[in-house]
Amino acid sequence: MRLTWLDWSLVLLYILAVVGAGLISRRRVKSISDFLVAGRQIRYHLGVATLVATELGLVTMMYFAEQGYRFGIAAFIIGIIWAAAYYTIGSTGFIVDRIRQLDIVTITEYFEVRFSRGVRVLGAILIIIAGVLSLGVFLKLGAVFLIHFMNIPETYHHITLTLVVSIVILYTMAGGMISIVLTDYVQFVVLAFAMVFTTIFVLAQFGYMDFFSRISEMYATQGLDPLHHEEYGWSFIGYWTVFAISGCVLWQPVTQRIFAAQSPEVNRFIFKSTSMMFLARAFFPIVWGVGAALYFGTGSDAVAGMPMFLTAILPVGMLGLFGASMFAAMMSTDAGYIHAWSTIIVQDLINPLRGGILSDAQRLLWTRISILGIGLLMLFFGIWYQLKDTAFRYLLDVTTIYYAGGLAVLVGGLYWKRATTVGAYAAFACGALLPLAAVVEDIVLQTQGSTLTGYFAQLFSPNIRGLLSFAFGFGGLIIGSLVSTQKVLQRT
Amino acid sequence: MERNDLPSAKDITFYQQNGYWLSPKLFDDKELEVFRNHHAAVVAGQYETKRPPLNREPDAGDVSRLVQINNAYWTDATIARLVLHPTIGKIAARLAGVKGIRLWHDQLLYKPPQSGKAGNIGWHQDRGYWLWLDNENALTAWVALDDVDEENGCMEVVPGSHRWGLLGEDHFYQQDIEQQTKRIEEKTGQPFKTQPCVLPAGCVSFHHCLTVHGSRANVSDRPRISIAIHLIPDGTRYKADAVSEDHTNNTLRQPNDGDTYAGPYFPVLFREDDPNANIWMSVKS
């Protein structure tokens, strides 16, 4: 273990500061709007900070580092496309301008306004499935980081997971969106410093110029070339482009910030500014991952590679700063995500199913109960589920369950008058078909103790499966809408 | 990079009965020349990656006696490519009858010409140094980077000795190997007959962790250039109650009882259920 008293002090100080901020902000929660969308008062720079910080979690660092470790600098294509998607949305206002004008809290609320309550509930169910399935990996990767970075014994794995979830749940339940936004800002600053300085240390380890020549030595030319890489290539670029656009407009932790922004203009600014930071958030951890692979000379155990590498090369003090910022990244993102999914559960599932009669106090209570429930599910999934591919691929698969139909329903709803409720149902059902089948089959196989890859997972390559899912989503919407008529076209 | 020189069922039976197996040539002359150049650089203390090995004996520059460098693959990408070679992993997995193989550690070896007794490596069982491993399926791939024969002090094994159990004869640096031979014969009541592992450059010998082995002096004018790659089955765990001198590998992980030897310090060479686990699988020589 290389962490010294100085490093530990930095980590502990940070945890205390974050928990303190969460508790203080609790006093400011006066209404359900404060808890869910911070009173819709988020302005320019805080908006950028909170969006970047939430999308810059420990899980992001870990899966980008894993991609770098396994596939070389070619993995940077993920960041480039993601940044382009954010910039395009920010420049054009595509979708986000229209949805910000509606006084809603979740995208699924729009599905009810435009289509029907049933479509909203179906959308909510799919996003909750996608969200909770992805959260299991958040916890798993967080624990891998802590265990290897702090050299926690393997036997304490479950205890570590439980402790992490407990801290995150307490923190989220205490202050809701206000505490998340507040600590996001602090995290954004600390993290930015830590990421830049860590990268300097990583490049210095190999020599700035040697770094890239080493990559081609170890990964061959495809380590620098995403177009001809087995993992990426054109099919990935196609899939990931549609996926990234969906992420901007459908992913509740992101859209929650759209709804929290003061105006559509603020939204556009946030998206455009964030796009550049999305390049950085991919580049830095990918460099760390590549550095780890070069350092260890191996492609195995990719998830553990980055934390073990940084523990070996970072100097005293820098280790503490890095550890603290990563812990903060984990807290902020996990809390932000748990908060986002619990909001959906209450707003789009419990409240509509109970006839929309829940009072603010009841909604607040149900949101907190949901936070606890999600935390427990996270813990169960984090301990029990074993990843068969990279964490990034898994997250892509589970999120496509919702995105594939969701994008079609949202775009169709906003821009195609002919879109109908039947079309929306068909879009969700068709879009979710392939990824849901692959994920459910895998869970069933694992419950039976099998480590085999399932039939649906092998039916198509992951990129083609993703592309087909989006095509099925849009196909479902078009065909479903053409064969039916909408009695009430628009209720707003 | 992948080859088809995998052991047949007959070869596996031979390994199970004798505790060793000699492979055909796995590396061509062009590859061997590159490996030898990098081997020489590491022996001279020139570390391409700027990362030192886990430890070395004696210090860089001293080649008057046997040079032994542990985890040399950290210091040089070409040596890493050799040590983590998927074919070596695949062969080891077949011989050991397991689904995956990880590196325990490597040992880059240089036996100087005309070494005298200082070039002797006493009879020993690798298992004697690895008592924390929770199974006895570990094995070693010993790669000849140049022609190796009795003249330059090739490795010798005692066929079938892996079935004798642990003898407590762990004397790697023992130079009086004749005296040791007598002691082992008395201990086991078995004749101590060694088999020299004469290997043309590019061939690899594999031996079980309980197989008694050692080597004699290099009486030729050629150095003996080789790398021993110590391997463990994927999933091997740390057994805390072993009574033995600690192994430097345990400083890498600081394991607790029952912890698996996993992670990047013990990289995967081959895993049946994950063909992409080893990055060198997809990299051309």
pLDDT tens-place string over residues B220-231: 999 999 999 999
Cross-chain residue pair A308–B263, CB shorter than 8 Å: yes
**Minimal Cα–Cα distance from A465 to chain B, Å?**
20
Measured between beta carbons, the chain B residues lying within 8 angstroms of A214 are 77
- Non-local CB neighbours of A111 within 8 Å, separated by 6+ positions: A119, A120, A123, A409, A413, A424
Domain boundaries defined on chain B? 26-242
The confidence band for B12, taking pLDDT boundaries of 50, 70 and 90, is very high
Nearest-CB residue to B259 (from A154, A299, A451): A154
pLDDT per residue as tens digits for the range B253-265: 677 788 888 888 8
The confidence band for A317, taking pLDDT boundaries of 50, 70 and 90, is confident
Predicted confidence (pLDDT) at residue A385 exceeds the cutoff of 50:
yes
Relative orientation angle of helices A117-149 and A360-384, to the nearest 10 degrees: 50
Give the per-residue pLDDT at A36: 52
pLDDT per residue as tens digits for the range A61-88: 999 999 999 999 999 999 999 999 999 9
The total number of residues written for chain B in this structure:
285
The confidence band for B285, taking pLDDT boundaries of 50, 70 and 90, is very low
The confidence band for A52, taking pLDDT boundaries of 50, 70 and 90, is confident
Model ipTM?
A: 0.79
Under 8 Å between Cβ of B110 and B223: yes
> By C-alpha distance, which of A288, A278, A277, A276 is closest to A198?
A288
Domain total in chain A: 1
Residue B213: CB atoms within 10 A of its CB come to 26
Measured between beta carbons, the chain A residues lying within 8 angstroms of B267 are 296-298, 300-301
Predicted confidence (pLDDT) at residue B137 exceeds the cutoff of 90:
yes
The confidence band for A234, taking pLDDT boundaries of 50, 70 and 90, is very high
Cross-chain residue pair A297–B265, CB shorter than 8 Å: no
- Non-local CB neighbours of A120 within 8 Å, separated by 6+ positions: A108, A109, A111, A112, A348, A352
Contact status of A299 with chain B (Cβ, < 8 Å): yes
The confidence band for A197, taking pLDDT boundaries of 50, 70 and 90, is very high
Instruction: Determine, yes or no, domain membership for A455.
Output: no
Nearest-CB residue to A219 (from B102, B255, B279): B279
Nearest-CB residue to B263 (from A1, A293, A301): A301
Instruction: Determine, yes or no, domain membership for A464.
Output: no
Predicted confidence (pLDDT) at residue A45 exceeds the cutoff of 90:
no
Contact status of A389 with chain B (Cβ, < 8 Å): no
Predicted confidence (pLDDT) at residue B60 exceeds the cutoff of 80:
yes
Grouping H, G, I as helix, E, B as strand and the rest as coil, residue B34 is: helix
Nearest-CB residue to A300 (from B256, B267, B273): B267
Under 8 Å between Cβ of A149 and A330: no
Predicted confidence (pLDDT) at residue A488 exceeds the cutoff of 60:
no
Measured between beta carbons, the chain B residues lying within 8 angstroms of A301 are 262-264, 267-268
> By C-alpha distance, which of B67, B65, B157 is closest to B116?
B65
Among the ranges given (A90-99, A138-147, A175-184, A327-336), the one the predictor scored with the smallest mean pLDDT: A175-184
Give me the domain span that covers residue A228: 5-387
Give the per-residue pLDDT at B175: 62
* Mean pLDDT calculated for residue range B146-158: 95
Contact status of B258 with chain A (Cβ, < 8 Å): yes
Contact status of B238 with chain A (Cβ, < 8 Å): no
Please give the residue that has the higher pLDDT: either B245 or A413: A413
**Minimal Cα–Cα distance from B155 to chain A, Å?**
28
The percent of residues above 70 in pLDDT, for chain A, comes to: 89
Please give the residue that has the higher pLDDT: either B178 or B14: B14
Grouping H, G, I as helix, E, B as strand and the rest as coil, residue B20 is: strand
Under 8 Å between Cβ of A63 and A142: no
Cross-chain residue pair A293–B279, CB shorter than 8 Å: yes
Cross-chain residue pair B267–A296, CB shorter than 8 Å: yes
The confidence band for B179, taking pLDDT boundaries of 50, 70 and 90, is confident
The confidence band for A436, taking pLDDT boundaries of 50, 70 and 90, is very high
The confidence band for B49, taking pLDDT boundaries of 50, 70 and 90, is confident
Nearest-CB residue to A300 (from B50, B74, B277): B277
Virtual torsion, Cα A16, A17, A19, A25, nearest 10 deg: 150
* Mean pLDDT calculated for residue range A338-367: 83
Predicted confidence (pLDDT) at residue B80 exceeds the cutoff of 60:
yes
The confidence band for B284, taking pLDDT boundaries of 50, 70 and 90, is low
Measured between beta carbons, the chain A residues lying within 8 angstroms of B259 are 153-155
Instruction: Determine, yes or no, domain membership for A427.
Output: no
Give the per-residue pLDDT at B41: 96
Please give the residue that has the higher pLDDT: either A220 or A39: A220
Distance CA(A339)–CA(A37), nearest Å, equals 10
Kindly report the CATH number assigned to the domain that includes residue A318. 1.20.1730.10
Measured between beta carbons, the chain B residues lying within 8 angstroms of A290 are none
Measured between beta carbons, the chain B residues lying within 8 angstroms of A205 are 50
Cross-chain residue pair B49–A309, CB shorter than 8 Å: no
Among the ranges given (A127-136, B81-90, B201-210), the one the predictor scored with the smallest mean pLDDT: A127-136
Optimal mutation site among A66, A300, A453, interface B, most CBs of chain B within 10 A: A300
Could you tell me the CA-to-CA distances from A138 to A31, A254, A277, A333, A340 in Å, in that order?
29, 17, 21, 9, 14
What value does the mean pLDDT of chain A take? 84
Among the ranges given (A256-260, A480-484, B40-44), the one the predictor scored with the smallest mean pLDDT: A256-260
Contact status of B51 with chain A (Cβ, < 8 Å): yes
Q: A residues 145-184 near B, CB within 8 Å?
A: 148, 151, 153-155
Please give the residue that has the higher pLDDT: either A470 or A31: A470
Instruction: Determine, yes or no, domain membership for A291.
Output: yes
Give the residue from chain A lying closest to B261, CA to CA.
A154
**Minimal Cα–Cα distance from A298 to chain B, Å?**
6
**Minimal Cα–Cα distance from B106 to chain A, Å?**
13
Distance CA(A215)–CA(A219), nearest Å, equals 6
Cross-chain residue pair B49–A295, CB shorter than 8 Å: yes
* Mean pLDDT calculated for residue range B244-257: 73
Cross-chain residue pair A154–B49, CB shorter than 8 Å: no
Contact status of B116 with chain A (Cβ, < 8 Å): no
Cross-chain residue pair A301–B84, CB shorter than 8 Å: no
The confidence band for B89, taking pLDDT boundaries of 50, 70 and 90, is very high
Please give the residue that has the higher pLDDT: either B43 or A134: B43
Is A115 exposed, middle or buried, given 0-12, 13-18 or 19+ CB atoms closer than 10 A?
Answer: buried
Give the per-residue pLDDT at B1: 39
pLDDT per residue as tens digits for the range A171-194: 777 655 566 666 677 777 788 888
* Mean pLDDT calculated for residue range A451-460: 82
Distance CA(A29)–CA(A263), nearest Å, equals 22
Predicted confidence (pLDDT) at residue B213 exceeds the cutoff of 50:
yes
Please give the residue that has the higher pLDDT: either B217 or B258: B217
Please give the residue that has the higher pLDDT: either B180 or A282: A282
Predicted confidence (pLDDT) at residue A226 exceeds the cutoff of 50:
yes
The confidence band for B68, taking pLDDT boundaries of 50, 70 and 90, is very high
Predicted confidence (pLDDT) at residue A490 exceeds the cutoff of 60:
no
User: Tell me, which fold does domain B26-242 have in CATH?
Assistant: Jelly Rolls (2.60.120)
Give the residue from chain B lying closest to A300, CA to CA.
B277
pLDDT per residue as tens digits for the range A238-273: 999 999 999 988 987 778 777 777 677 888 888 888
